[in-house]
Structure 1
Amino acid sequence: MTSPRQTDDLMEIHQLLARYAVTITQGDIDGLLEVFTEDGTYSAFGETYPLSDFPALVAAAPKGLFLTGTALVEPAGDSATGTQPLCFVDHATHALRIGYYNDTYRRTERGWRLRTRAMTFIRRSGAHDSGRPHAFDPAGA
């Protein structure tokens, strides 16, 4: 059974994840950075990037619609883990990328925030992977 506090926590985390999807879709980098803890990281392409690399990472990525599904979140006090499905639609070609995020969350003075977000792509072959290694080079961005 879920307590009222857990229900409130889940609602706040789901709103946080909605904010992630909306801000990245709209190109609002400042809003996007706000959903992370100060020491937050993003993992894809065989690498883990600190939050300081995130603006360049987003700038180098294709633009389009980040359509996310309801996350499965497991709260544990002031931290939580979760998995959220993603369907990305490229704005120019309407080509799709599908996969899911594996997340950790932390309760902060500013409310719940993403601590880590790791992307897993689902390929046409059925393989699940983190993308091509070195598809993004923060030094070259």
Structure 2
Amino acid sequence: MTADDTTADLVAIQQLLARYAVTITRGDIDGLLAVFTPDGSYSAFGDTYPLADFPALVAAAPKGLFLTGTPLVELDGDTATGTQPLCFVDHATHEMRIGYYDDTYTRTAGGWRLRTRAMTFIRRSGAHDSGRPHAFERPAV
């Protein structure tokens, strides 16, 4: 892999993650789902949710602005891992939540996609955790 290939991959992943932040901020669920692989998952609140549950999970979550930082990405051929800082600002109260995502990425025919995204919250106490279990009730299957 050349330096140009590495740079192109890193920019593509950064744009993918920017698309995640913009689509979730705007409430564009179809755009949000498109950043994941079909078998993608999201982890938070002590559980892992398949992509099929993601629209209900987003609908139940507070609305606001998702501010994300530049991710730290480790490329490995057609896969990669990364960590991206996050600051969420609630639209109604302007209260903030901070934390970071731990991700895996896969190169697909349509470009880079998120395969897994796991949220870690940073608490006022300094603790890092995935949230309260059962903060979101999964829809009945």
Same-fold call, TM cutoff 0.5: yes
Cα RMSD, aligned residues only:
0.8
Q: How does 1:1-141 map to 2 (within 5 A)?
A: 3-139=3-139
1:32 & 1:99 partners in 2: Cα distance? 19
- Mind listing any 5+ residue stretches in structure 1 that lack a counterpart? none
Task: Work out the CA distance in 1 between the residues paired with 2:5 and 2:45.
Answer: 36
Aligned residues: 139
Point out where structure 2 has 5 or more consecutive residues left out of the alignment: none
Question: What TM-score, normalized to structure 1?
Answer: 0.97
TM-score, normalisation: structure 2: 0.97
CA distance in 2, matches of 1:107, 1:32: 17
CA distance in 2, matches of 1:34, 1:28: 10
Q: Flag as ranges the 4+ runs of structure 1 deviating above 6 A.
A: none
| Contact 2:20-2:35 at 8 Å conserved across structures | yes
Secondary structure, counterpart of 2:67 in structure 1: strand
Q: CA deviation at 1:119?
A: 0.0
Aligned amino acid, residue 136 of structure 1: F
C-alpha displacement of 1:139: 2.1
